[in-house]
Chains A and B, each alone.
Chain A
């Protein structure tokens, strides 16, 4: 089955630690995205990548970093510089024919 996987489903982090969230897709999509979702604030774009070895900042990139070394993979690192990292993180990829995005199941990050 084609789709997007994210791991882990739940992640707990102590303050001051960096953590990396995994996102893998086998849909052969070129573009991938990371969003953050908080209650009442909708989806906010963190980073996006249209092709391998290239990525751009979204609306709330501060305190986050990404890499895109393979077409299938787009990991997100939440650094200790992110002041309020507790949130639900969603990864997506795009069908270039329609601009529709397909989402993974999400990772819920909690900072203790």
Chain B
């Protein structure tokens, strides 16, 4: 079993839809949780960062961490065609030499 599981999709939604992207993990030591967005043939860019449990909102994006269920989510409200990309979750814990453990990424397409 992988430490971090992420459904690769692809996920296709109409413009304006609410998108929910998820990752599950097995290591309860994870404390730092991140979501990255990667456009085709580009480097990943950091979207959201959360330490420990809780919610964090930034514009149309909301990140949630549920440590009791070992589950993290990224919600995108009012999705736009420009949100079409691959979304990767990543997580780490203190003492892991700052290495991130990555999900495989979910491919999202937003149709106008």
Contacts and interface: CB of A to CB of B under 8 A. Distances in A.
Interface string A64-83: 00000000000000000000
Contact-residue size bin, chain A (C-beta under 8 Å from the other chain): 20 to 34
Nearest to B2: A42
A13 interface: no
Contacts of B11: none
A43 B43 contact: no
Interface in B21-60: 32, 34, 41-46, 49, 51
Interface string A81-112: 00000001010101010111111111010000
B43 A40 contact: no
Interface string B78-102: 0000000000101010000111101
Given A43-B88, A98-B49, A105 B100 contact: no
A42 to B, nearest CB: 4
Chain B CB within 10 Å, residue with most, of A90, A96, A100, A108: A100
B94 to A, nearest CB: 8
Given A98-B51, A99-B32, A31 B43 contact: no
B105 interface: yes
Interface size class of B (residues with CB under 8 A): 20 to 34
Contacts of B104: 40-42
Interface of A is mostly: strand
B41 A103 contact: no
B100 A56 contact: no
Contacts of B102: 42-43
10 contacts: A45-B99, A48-B99, A94-B98, A98-B32, A98-B49, A99-B32, A99-B100, A100-B34, A103-B43, A103-B45
Interface of B: 8, 32, 34, 41-46, 49, 51, 88, 90, 92, 97-100, 102-105
